[in-house]
Structure 1
Amino acid sequence: MRVPNSVVLPVGTHVDCCQEQEVAEKTHDIMARITAMLMERKSNLAHFIDNLEGSEEPKFYVDQWERLKEMESCTLTILNLVAVNCTDHRDIKKLEATILEHVKNEELFPEVVRVLPPVYRQVEAAIVDIARSEEMADHGMMDLQYLLSKLSQRKHLAGLGRELLQDILRYLHRIGLVVWYEEIKHLESTVFLQPTFLITMFKVSVGIRTISSTEPKP
């Protein structure tokens, strides 16, 4: 919901564990729950905004009001749920075809054919090069300002500014090339150039926690 004009394709799995009638019923139930959730969210946001606007000192809540209005403007398009039998390769291919069909729909994604400025590709290539260099640590973490300085050392990126780099990082974060949690205060100045390492660490952390929770306590 943080991304304006988001598009969500619900996917239901384990169809092979259900009867045909059950699949239809569960599909209807899931879509109904999603609709109810969105309506509740819209109602709650309107309620919070009204409360702030009706407060005795509204000027003290300008930041909150702006944030809520921003959230209110984030529209969400829910596509029809796709039920998939994960044990059937044909169903997987059907899901792939459905996703591709939706992605090519310019009504859903009006900017799908937009051509990126050359500097986006140049920064992307440079970051890939930096991530693969011998001086890059395995964890792939790099300070945002240091990354900017490294990129600026390249002739074709000498004029790269911080704001433009941040825009490009948002794009690279969306496509999964890097991970940048700009909304988290303690991580906003850190860019992860090796997302796979971060994913591995998450898996290890979850694995350790799971093992610890299953061990008998003395």
Structure 2
Amino acid sequence: MRVPNSVVLPVGTHVDCCQEEEVEEKRHDIMTKISAMLAERKRNLAHFINNLEGSEEPEFYVDQWEKLKEMESCTLTILNLVAVNCMNQHDIKRLEATILEHVKNEELFPEVVRVLPPIYRQVEAAIIGITQSEEMANHGMMDLQYLLSKLSQCKHLGSLGRELLRDILRYLHRIGLVVWYEEIKHLESTVFLQPTFLITMFKVSVQIRMIFSAGLELCS
């Protein structure tokens, strides 16, 4: 709400827990509540601004007035809600495609249109090639230094340095191509080239914990 020209994509999960007609009802209800919330926010801001402007000594409230006016100027674009079944891979892919479609919309995101240095695309393509090679383990984990040595063997990447690779990995992490937890000391030297495997492991861990907890409750 405080970021100018914000774009919000509401996502409804657990569609599998609802009947088909319930999904549409909930979708309509959520969008209605969002619209009402935005309208109320607009009214409240206008009310506060009017109070400051109508005060006996408005010059004492210039800072507050400026902050409120800045908040008032922050537009918010609400996209159509996407309902997904989190257990359905097709729905997850559909959500990914919807997000990418919106992100590429220059009318929604005019500020993010920029050209990456060619080496970013070259490293991205090289990493995709590595993940598709037969020598790549299913878990997709690779040591950062080993990844650098592998990439350095690729065409046009012989001069790739460690710091530049770190910058590129941050970008690839943000777009979801890889997972790299550089802020975690024990994981900063490990790059996950297969994020889907990591997500699957997280899901399995959660499911095992839930089953274990349920078993303890039954025993008690």
- TM-score of the two chains, using structure 2 as the length reference: 0.59
The answer as to whether partners of 1:16 and 1:85 remain within 8 angstroms in 2 is no
- Give the aligned residue type for 2:78: N
Deviant stretches of 4+, over 6 Å: 31-36, 95-98
CA distance in 1, matches of 2:127, 2:96: 29
Distance 1:17 1:191, change over 3 A: same
Distance 1:103 1:194, change over 3 A: closer
Structure 1: state its 5+ residue gaps.
37-75
State which of 74, 77, 80 in structure 2 corresponds to 1:79: 77
Distance 1:193 1:79, change over 3 A: same
The answer as to whether partners of 2:178 and 2:195 remain within 8 angstroms in 1 is yes
- Give the aligned residue type for 1:80: I
Q: Indicate whether 1:217 and 2:219 are aligned.
A: yes
Residue 165 of structure 1: how far off its partner (Å): 1.0
- Give the aligned residue type for 1:183: E
Match of 1:109 in 2: 109
- Give the aligned residue type for 1:79: T
- Of the two, which has the highest radius of gyration? 2
- Give the aligned residue type for 1:82: N
Match of 2:199 in 1: 199
Match of 2:137 in 1: 137
Identity %: 71
- Give the aligned residue type for 2:31: T
- Give the aligned residue type for 2:77: L
- 1:62-110 CA-partner distances (Å, limit 9, x unpaired): xxxxxxxxxxxxxx975325245669xxxx9xx8998577434436423
Secondary structure at 1:157 match in 2: coil
- Give the aligned residue type for 2:130: I
State which of 20, 27, 31 in structure 2 corresponds to 1:27: 31
CA distance in 1, matches of 2:32, 2:97: 22
Count of residues in correspondence between the two structures: 173
- TM-score of the two chains, using structure 1 as the length reference: 0.60
The answer as to whether partners of 1:126 and 1:151 remain within 8 angstroms in 2 is yes
RMSD: 4.2
Structure 2: state its 5+ residue gaps.
41-73, 86-90
